[in-house]
Structure formats: structure tokens, C-alpha cells
Amino acid sequence: MQLTDLTAVQLLDGYRKGEFSPVEATGQALERARRIQPEVNAFVRLTEQDALARARESAERWRRGEPMGLLDGVPVTVKDLLLMRGHPTLRGSKTLSEQGSWAEDAPSVARLREHGAVFLGKTTSPEFGWKGVTDCPLTGVTRNPHDPSRTAGGSSGGSAAAVALGAGPLSLGTDGGGSIRIPAAFCGIFGLKPTYGRVPIYPASPFGTLSHTGPMTRDAADAALLLDVVAGPDARDWSGLPPAPGSFTEGLRGGVRGLRVAYSPSLGGQVAVQPAVAAAVRRAVASLAGLGAYVEESDPDFSDPVEAFHTLWFSGAARLTQRFSPHRRQLLDPGLREICTQGARMSALDYLAAVDVRMDLGRRMGRFHERYDLLVTPTVPVAAFEAGVEVPRGSAHRRWTGWTPFTYPFNLTQQPAATVPVGTDGDGLPVGMQLVAARHRDDLVLRAAHALYESGAALAPRPPSR
């Protein structure tokens, strides 16, 4: 049996029944990770000895019938923006040193450790997670599992590639402007950006309250299970939310019958969507209607907030590198260095004007969700393009935000948003559909996504065997 093909829920069921052990699952996941690494480059480092030690401890607990927590023995990966005790977190940058004790876990990583998860390793990110593709001066280019000449997306590209190829069914990603949803869509997996504060963050992101931490998984049931583990307050995050009112796993039941769904194919004509992407999303929207949702084509009331997003994003990057020496600055990704220069020219008044746009956008979406439970859009208007570039060749856009107009608005508003795989384009590349709900309604996003998986409408293409 290929345990790398199983979800976390299926692995746990097998452990419970004694059909296989965490040692077997971890061994197969590590073997898969080693095999895919030369071609896809999903990992910064594998933590093999630690993983096998934790797997043996887990196997003994399962043998005694005393599992440690909800994820005991499940292989997981962690994006290399999140602290993991005992291992360097270099954030894709040559400006950071491996020296140090690395004695602290990020809150979400600490929760995984408490629940017995097995850490396979750290996954790749662009430098400090600054862009929507995954390449950086430190680790090079991360490639798409379905076609290695294409990008995996970013900034959680290594996590998406690892999950898609069976190197652990669960990964923790981060999302400041689409960084969970973009690579999940490009790689054909599920990705959830929870409501801001639902998963605590420490250290604080240089991009402030735009950045979220969330699950990247094979399906919505695994994401709900992972969110049950990592959600909840942590004293180190002053902006974190109180505990969720109930279990996200329990909340998967109920389907979509009666939900009011707004389908916006192009945000009111503001976005040019590739025809094959639009067609796949349209079919999935029809599936929601077939499952009993009330679907209406309707656009949210906002114009593209990209300039406000750039002000917040670029100034955050400038603050991050403010004290870098000229030599250290020269080590940066040239694109990151460029936006840092732009951000350093912005004033406090520019920043506050962007905050005004953000607050107005949040108000508009709050009113929109008085009428609709869910907003549905394409996740990304294009399929995965050439690896190693920030924008598709021939694009009129200079920055990654030019081809991600469906994702970053909902970082500004802090709403929960997920991507569900809904088929492929003409080249066999995955297409994602985005589900967005009002703040604090992560349960609705997960429930609708789960209904699509249960009905077979969430179509997750299998990458070629490696």
C-alpha cells in the first residue's frame, strides 16, 4: 500500500486499526520527499532523524492505545517562514545566518508538536515570502508537480508541491496576498487562508495584519482537522482571536443546501480570465447549484485595491530591510530590493490613506455578506506559467499582483478564503476555484469545500508519477 496517497484522516484511521504504523508512513513520506526534491525543489531541508524518532515514539503510543493528540504520527511539513525548534528558519534569504539556538516554535508549529505530528522538514519560500511565485537567491526555483517547466506558485510553493506529490498530507503555509491559495491552485490541492487571528502568528509578519497562517492539504476534511489543532490563542500574538466556538471537523456536515452563493467570474469585468480557467470554475459553480445552493451571478462592490495593497506591502518590505547594510542589501532578490526602495519613499500619510481604503473595502464586503453566505471566484485567472519569473512572459504587468487580483483583496479584509481544485486547463494544469466567506465564518468555507469533495465536483488531478 502506498501510504503517501492517503490523507491525514485515512492515516489516522489506519493507525487506529493497526493496519500500518507512523514509522511506515513517515518512511514512505521521507522516501517520496527525497525522490521529488531534485526535480521539484520543494524542500529547504529534510529533518529525517527527528522525523523517524518522533514516528517511533508515536508508534509506541498507538500500540498502547494512547495517542498523544489529534495528529499523532501524521507526517507534516512547515514553510520556512515559520519557526521550528532546533532548525534554522532562513526565510529564503542569504541575509540570515544559520547560527543561533533556534529554540522556539511558532504558535502553529507548537500546536502540531503538542498533538504528536511528525515533522518531515521545512519547505521553500521566496525571500521573506514577498511574491506569488517560489524562487529565491538561497534555494533556487521551486517547480510545479504537474509540469516542472512551470511555477508551483508562491509564496508557499514548496508546501503545495510537497502535498501534491505525497511528501506528507499536511503542510503549514502563510498567506499575505494569496500565498496559500495561489500555489494550492497551481498544484491542484486544497488551501485555506483562515480569518485573520484564527491561527496565531509569532514573530509578527513584517507585512503586519495582511499575513495569515493556514492549512495546505489534500482535501477540506484534512484542512478542518489541521485547523482544529492550530487555531486558538497564543500569548505571543496580541491580535489573535479567542478559541473557535466549535470543532471545524464537526462543522463539515450539513452541505450547501440553502446557502446563498454569489458567483463573480471576473469581479465585474475587472479581470481577464483565461477561457479554460473560466470554464472549469463555471462547471464547479453549477455543481454547487446542483447540491442545493442558491447561486446568483453577482459582483462585490469594489474596484481593484492594488495601489493600497502595494503601499502596505512595499512599506512592510522596506521596514523589514531598513537596517540592512549596503552589502547585506545587495544579497536580496532584485525584485524585493526594488519594492523596498519604493516602500522607503512612502510616508505615514500614504500608509494611512491605504488603511482608509482597506477599512472601506472591509465595510463593503461586510455588507455584501449580509446578502450572500459565500462569494465564489476563480482563484487565479491563469494557469501555472513558466518557472523562474515573477509574471508570465509577455504580460503587461511588472509585479506579481498583476495576475493575482482575486486573492489579495481578501487579505486586506481579513476574510477566510479557500481554493478548491476544480479540474484542469487544456494543458492538464490544475485550476482552482476560490470560496470566500464573512470574517469568522471559516466553517462555511470548509463546509462548502467539503461538499464539493464529497460530491466529486472537487477534481484534484494526480501529478505524473515520480
Tell me the CATH number at 121. 3.90.1300.10
Q: Please compute the mean of the pLDDT values over residues 228-255 and round it to a whole number.
A: 96
- In this structure, are residues 36 and 28 in contact, taking their beta carbons and an 8 Å threshold? no
What is the structure's pLDDT at 466? Answer: 63
- Taking a C-beta distance cutoff of 8 angstroms, is the pair 391, 403 a contact? yes
Whether 466 is covered by a domain: the verdict is no
Residue 275 exposed, middle or buried by CB count within 10 Å (0-12, 13-18, 19+): exposed
pLDDT tens-digit readout, 182-193? 999 999 999 999
Contact 391, 417 (CB under 8 A): no
**Structural domain includes residue 461:** no
Look at residue 462 and tell me if it is in a domain.
Answer: no
Cα–Cα dist 173/330, whole Å: 27
pLDDT of the residue at 248? 98
Query: What pLDDT was estimated at residue 354?
Result: 98
pLDDT higher than 80, residue 118: yes
Question: What is the mean predicted confidence (pLDDT) over 376-396?
Answer: 96
Let me know if residue 463 belongs to a domain. no
Q: Tell me the per-residue pLDDT of 119-135, one tens digit each, with 9 for 90 and over.
A: 999 999 999 999 999 99
Residues 6 or more apart whose Cβ sits within 8 Å of residue 314: 339, 340, 342, 343, 346
Residue 465 lies in a domain: no
Query: How big is the chain by its Cα radius of gyration, in Å?
Result: 20
pLDDT of residue 459: 87
- To 10 degrees, the CA torsion angle through 108, 114, 117, 118? 100
Please give the average per-residue pLDDT across 33-41, as a whole number.
98
What is the domain range of residue 282?
3-455
Element (H, E) at 327: helix 326-330
Q: Which residues contact 269 (CB under 8 A, 6 or more apart)?
A: none
In the chain, the percentage of residues whose pLDDT exceeds 70 is 100
Q: Looking at the DSSP assignment, which residues form a beta bridge with residue 150?
A: 386
Would you say residue 154 lies in a domain? Answer: yes
**How confident is the model over 337-348, as a mean pLDDT?**
98
- Residue 57 burial (CB count, 10 A): 16
- 48 falls within a domain: yes
Residues with catalytic annotation? 79, 155, 179
383, 392 in Cβ contact below 8 A? no
In a domain, 464, yes or no: no
Contact 330, 296 (CB under 8 A): no
pLDDT band at 1 (very low <50, low <70, confident <90, very high): confident
Q: Mean pLDDT throughout 311-317?
A: 98
Q: Which pLDDT does position 208 carry in this prediction?
A: 95
Give the number of domains in the chain.
1
